[in-house]
Amino acid sequence: MCGIAALQLRNPLLHPRMGSLLSSMMCQIVDRGPDSAGLAVYDTPGLVSASTSTLSLLGREQGLPAAGIAAALENLLPASAGTAVKVVGDTTFVSSAVDTELLAKAVRETLPDSTIIGRGEHVAVMKSVGHPMDIAAEHGLGAMSGSQGLSHTRMATESAVTAGGSHPFSVADDLCLVHNGSFSNHATIRRDLLREGVVFDSDNDTEVGARYIASRLKQGDTLEEALTNLGKVFDGFYTLVVTTADSMAVVRDPIACKPAIIAETDDYVAMASEYRALASLPGIETASIFEPEPGKVYTWSL
């Protein structure tokens, strides 16, 4: 049993409240997953900026101080890239005005033991082990602004309780996936993806789902098509939320074993594992509230 809370803000006037709204939603799903948690926020000033690639690295300790990491990267990247390193909570952020893959290559060369947990121009990913609200507070979620937010509280079932096994999984630029449930055939699909050259960072079944979606998108699928194809290939019980730079999608397994509730207004789309996580959102009394149908992919765009 895990908890999911996701928020897409259509009204820019709500962007300054993204962190506080997501924090209040997350508070209501803590008992669904008390051992670890993760966050993804989009277009948050101070963490990401336009035309700049940002990598989120797991952990505050990377073997070098932030200034040392920046200096080492500057020797590998163009002088005009403006490389910067920032530690927030238990996450290290590396930003540079270069292509994301070029930045990732330089980071892997400089910090070979690092784990990249987020990447892109719009998303910042944070995750750790501990009480979910402590993790949110340590990263300053309540004060963050942004266009979208995604949170997950984890009760581990398929793999160990580790920060790396926490959700979201972000394995392609600005793409994030969170998951409540389990995939029963993830080992088989992992082997198929490994044969295609896909590299994994954990033994978590959710990462397999994220890597599969990234692979389908790379082959030309739309987000809706990628999730439809996932439903044809993956067995198990699940509710998934996937976000990109400008969209959010929700899908449940064909018998809708895992809970999900959606609230939609002109100002936002919100999804949570339980209604109580939506109850304090602005305008909730007039929102369209519904449970996603089994096997149906729902998508929204900014």
The answer to whether the beta carbons of residues 33 and 152 sit under 8 Å apart is yes
Question: Same domain, yes or no, for 94 and 14?
Answer: no
User: Which residues of the chain fall short of a pLDDT of 70?
Assistant: 156-159
Question: Same domain, yes or no, for 296 and 206?
Answer: yes
Question: Same domain, yes or no, for 173 and 106?
Answer: no
Question: Same domain, yes or no, for 292 and 151?
Answer: yes
> What's the pLDDT score for residue 35?
86
Give the N- to C-terminal CA distance of the chain in Å, as an integer: 30
Question: Same domain, yes or no, for 81 and 228?
Answer: no
> What's the pLDDT score for residue 1?
74
> What's the pLDDT score for residue 155?
72
> What's the pLDDT score for residue 29?
93
Residue 75's domain comprises 49-121
The answer to whether the beta carbons of residues 198 and 257 sit under 8 Å apart is no
Question: Same domain, yes or no, for 181 and 288?
Answer: yes
- CATH number where 12 lies: 3.60.20.10
> What's the pLDDT score for residue 160?
72
> What's the pLDDT score for residue 175?
98
- CATH number where 74 lies: 3.30.70.2730
Backbone angles phi, psi at 219, to 5 degrees: -80, -5
Q: Which of 133, 142, 151 is nearest to 6 (CA)?
A: 151
> What's the pLDDT score for residue 156?
67
Question: Same domain, yes or no, for 105 and 39?
Answer: no
Question: Same domain, yes or no, for 27 and 171?
Answer: yes
Question: Same domain, yes or no, for 73 and 199?
Answer: no
Question: Same domain, yes or no, for 34 and 140?
Answer: yes
Question: Same domain, yes or no, for 11 and 102?
Answer: no
Question: Same domain, yes or no, for 283 and 134?
Answer: yes
> What's the pLDDT score for residue 270?
98
**For this structure, is 176 an active site residue?**
no
For the chain, how many structural domains are there in total? 2
> What's the pLDDT score for residue 97?
97
**Which residue, of 69, 91, 121, is where some domain finishes?**
121
Alpha carbon of 150 to those of 7, 124, 171, 236: distances in Å?
6, 10, 15, 22
**Which residue, of 101, 121, 141, is where some domain finishes?**
121
CA 56 to chain centre: 11
> What's the pLDDT score for residue 60?
95
**Which residue, of 121, 149, 177, is where some domain finishes?**
121
Q: Which of 176, 177, 52 is nearest to 121 (CA)?
A: 52
Q: Which of 163, 161, 162, 157 is nearest to 183 (CA)?
A: 157
